[in-house]
Chain A
Amino acid sequence: MDIRSQISMVFHLDKCIGCHTCSVACKNIWTDRKGAEYMWWNNVETKPGTGYPGKWEDQDIYKGGWEKKGNDIKLKGAGKKKGLSNIFHNPHMPVIDDYYEPFTYKYLDLIESPEVDDQPTARPVSLITGKPMDIKMGPNWDDDLSGTPDYARNDVNLKNLSPAEQQAMFQLEKMAFFYLPRICNHCLNPACVASCPSGAIYKRGEDGIVLINQKVCRAWRMCVTACPYKKSYYNWHTGKSEKCILCYPRIEAGYAPACMHSCVGRIRYLGVMLYDADQIHDIASADKDKLIDKQLDMLMDPFDPEVIESAKKNGIADSTIKAAQKSPVYKFVKEWGMALPLHAEFRTLPMLFYVPPMLPVMASITNVDNTEQSKKLGDISKFWPDNWLYDTSTEEFWGTIEQARLPIQYMANLFSAGNTEMVKLRIMKLMAIRIHRRWKTVGDISEEKARQVLKDVGLTQETADAIYYLTSLAKFDDRFVIPAAHREHAIEMMENTGDVKGSTGFGFKQDTAKRGL
């Protein structure tokens, strides 16, 4: 057993309202620079949709992630032989048109225009060439566009859905979508790290944050293709690649990352996980249907004395172990079994987990007589002569899951490597908690039924209430349990602090990275 600690995350998709506040917070702090304009370390995608960059999930195009070879795994598009043969000419590299050409507007023209007959306009200019341009695409061009032929119907996750199922998804009045916010997964088996010919990418020992050393990066851009989530971006101005740094300067200071801190829907949770690093190779090369179960097995119980002992042997601080015991991520992922990793089949063992969305609310329409109800309306009220009810209080509690607007198979392609049972169980749990809370707060469901539903999914009333609390009422410190950084320990592992004592602490900052090798 080789216990290490990892800062891990849960995104509760049922709560995401798709406001992009996270993306803007991240952009303002980190990527509002020349060469980084097109980078969205955090982005929010509409699903079904092609995402950003276009069709990033299609590894036939980009050759990202790992593939199983016998009992081993190999990088799909990089590694020793493939990497060397493609090092000067990587055919799977995304081009700027796969992202979009970043632009701004000449706002000053609005202010400085002389008085003329027509309204002055602010022309768009490219942030790459500086010349006027036609805007062709943006990072969330398909926002809220479910059902469009270009985006939703090209979603890579529709691949093992029957044509009938696909058609049903895009029927008028049945169309649905949800949001998928994405950041770097800070994987346990990161393909970007494995692919880098310069050895510039590393996973921080103390918290597992994956970083690119800007001084070592030599612009090979192998990480850009190797990351199956396309979360490593090449800065054409500095000639270095960049990626989400999980706001490590904030984390070290005890703050939540900017995207999480700013989240309006409070969908994001962050905490420490203790995992067994000995198992990484076994799990990453496991069969596809066992991948997720095995990955969850690798995440260790922070209360287990054996785990704590091994963690201490590895120099994990007591404060970190304590944080792991209080971790909301551990509760969602392991204790309650509510969250799943995104695209586990890429075999990078992502450490960002998603609670799959139950919405849009699943309900049935029943015929009722609305005349009595309509009589109560005032004279100026809008009157609909409908005689039906949008009924969520169905007798057949689980029946509606099968009839969900977004087919279970689609969700399974996203969150459970195609295993429908796994996603179904998570959605049933979400539903069971709703039914339980409905019995408690509204009371139109009998206690007997509520208990039965919880029993079906293996939850008790206490855990259901705890889940409800962490989902809906949790305070800042419940959602973000950030361990003390202990940078002093990490630094002392790398260098003798005595060497710099008396020689640093005052002077000029180093220049930012310049292009060139």
Chain B
Amino acid sequence: MITGFSTIRRRFPVLGVLTIFLCIGSIQNASAADPGEQVFQNNCAGCHSVGGGALVGPDLAGVHDRRSQAWLEGFIKSSQSMINGGDPDANALYKKFNQIRMPDMSLTDGQITEVLVYIKAAGATTGTTGAQKPAKKPQKVATKEDLTRGQNLFQGKLRFENNGPTCISCHNVTNDAVIGGGVLAKELTRVFSKMGGTGVRAILGRAPFPVMEAAYKDKPLTETEIFSLVTFLQDADEQHAYHNPRDYGKGLLLSGVIGAFILFVFYSLLWLRRRKDSVNQKIYDRQVKST
């Protein structure tokens, strides 16, 4: 990274002053890495790459050419309010990227400036060398065991290693192996074709949704767990046309309500026959009670 940093300085002398400031910051932190890069890795890398192609969100290489600095700062601070505020660019992005909102990051203004500096610098580098492309991991081939494991993890038959909550408590997948998933969050049958393996993997690694983020805070999924889950989701997506689990829909709820009502009436009828009071109740009622 040190080499990368010096390249930036050579190429963009204008930013030199800023970089010095940043360097002071990093010296104070006694950390070797660029703070902007750190922020990027911690908060953005799940969904974005710089020059690595679109993941969940767009590739950020050359984003400064497309948008103004103010627009970028505003979007990072709160993409939601910009979309709701009717910003045309923001809305176009929202539509393009499967209507997944970018979560509001709790970043300070300083951190936002840092990360933008990093993105700009990194984008410029990749433009020529392509060195910033995320290192590709050696492709692992999914086995049948991975699929079963993913299925079991999704349904909670297997616990996550770090005790994270089970997927099925909030999500559903139309799959014969899964009975009645949760309806609190997105239906995940077609998520693989929507986002692709990288996107899904990124979300599982670090969820960009506030509720999911809170749920998996301090309980991250392990690499193998993510791999198994992605395998399962991919399979579910590919096979979804052949899977048709029986859907009771509202009938299930209704039969529960009706059943409860019948039981209630039945027990009431039984109760009718029971003596309501003791034979001495009249005497007890009249007695003076101590407080």
Measured in the bound complex, the distance between the Cα atoms of B281 and A98 in whole Å is 8
Among the stretches B15-23, B78-86, B268-276, the one at the interface with A is B268-276
Q: Which of B261-291 contact A (CB under 8 A)?
A: 270, 273-275, 278-284, 287, 289-290
Q: Are B279 and A61 in contact (CB under 8 A)?
A: yes
Measured in the bound complex, the distance between the Cα atoms of B274 and A54 in whole Å is 17
Q: Which of B91-136 contact A (CB under 8 A)?
A: none
Return chain B residues, CB-CB under 8 Å to A95.
Answer: 275, 278
Q: Are B282 and A136 in contact (CB under 8 A)?
A: no
Task: Determine whether A150 belongs to the interface, using a CB cutoff of 8 Å to chain B.
Answer: yes
A-B contact pairs, 30 of them (CB 8 A): A50-B279, A53-B279, A54-B278, A54-B280, A55-B279, A61-B275, A61-B279, A89-B270, A89-B274, A91-B270, A91-B274, A91-B275, A92-B275, A95-B275, A97-B280, A97-B284, A98-B278, A98-B279, A98-B280, A134-B287, A134-B290, A136-B280, A136-B283, A136-B284, A136-B287, A137-B280, A137-B283, A137-B284, A150-B282, A150-B283
Minimum CB–CB distance from A136 to chain B (whole Å) comes to 5
Minimum CB–CB distance from A100 to chain B (whole Å) comes to 8
Measured in the bound complex, the distance between the Cα atoms of B283 and A137 in whole Å is 9
Return chain B residues, CB-CB under 8 Å to A50.
Answer: 279
Return chain B residues, CB-CB under 8 Å to A61.
Answer: 275, 279
Q: For B281, give its contact among A53, A92, A97, A134 (CB under 8 Å).
A: A97
Measured in the bound complex, the distance between the Cα atoms of B285 and A150 in whole Å is 12
Measured in the bound complex, the distance between the Cα atoms of B289 and A204 in whole Å is 47
Of listed B274, B280, B289, residue having the most chain A CB within 10 A: B280
Return chain B residues, CB-CB under 8 Å to A134.
Answer: 287, 289-290
Q: Which residue of B lies closest to A96 (CB)?
A: B278
Return chain A residues, CB-CB under 8 Å to B270.
Answer: 89, 91
Of listed B273, B274, B279, B282, residue having the most chain A CB within 10 A: B279
Q: Which of A201-241 contact B (CB under 8 A)?
A: none
Return chain A residues, CB-CB under 8 Å to B287.
Answer: 134, 136
Of listed A50, A61, A92, A134, residue having the most chain B CB within 10 A: A134
Given A50-B279, A89-B270, A98-B279: 12 more A-B contacts, CB < 8 Å: A54-B278, A54-B280, A61-B279, A91-B275, A95-B278, A97-B278, A97-B280, A98-B278, A134-B290, A136-B287, A137-B283, A150-B283
Measured in the bound complex, the distance between the Cα atoms of B279 and A53 in whole Å is 9
Measured in the bound complex, the distance between the Cα atoms of B290 and A54 in whole Å is 24
Q: Which residue of A lies closest to B270 (CB)?
A: A89
Measured in the bound complex, the distance between the Cα atoms of B275 and A92 in whole Å is 7
Measured in the bound complex, the distance between the Cα atoms of B281 and A61 in whole Å is 14
Q: Which residue of A lies closest to B286 (CB)?
A: A150
Measured in the bound complex, the distance between the Cα atoms of B280 and A53 in whole Å is 9
Return chain B residues, CB-CB under 8 Å to A92.
Answer: 275
Measured in the bound complex, the distance between the Cα atoms of B284 and A134 in whole Å is 10
Minimum CB–CB distance from B28 to chain A (whole Å) comes to 66
Return chain B residues, CB-CB under 8 Å to A150.
Answer: 282-283
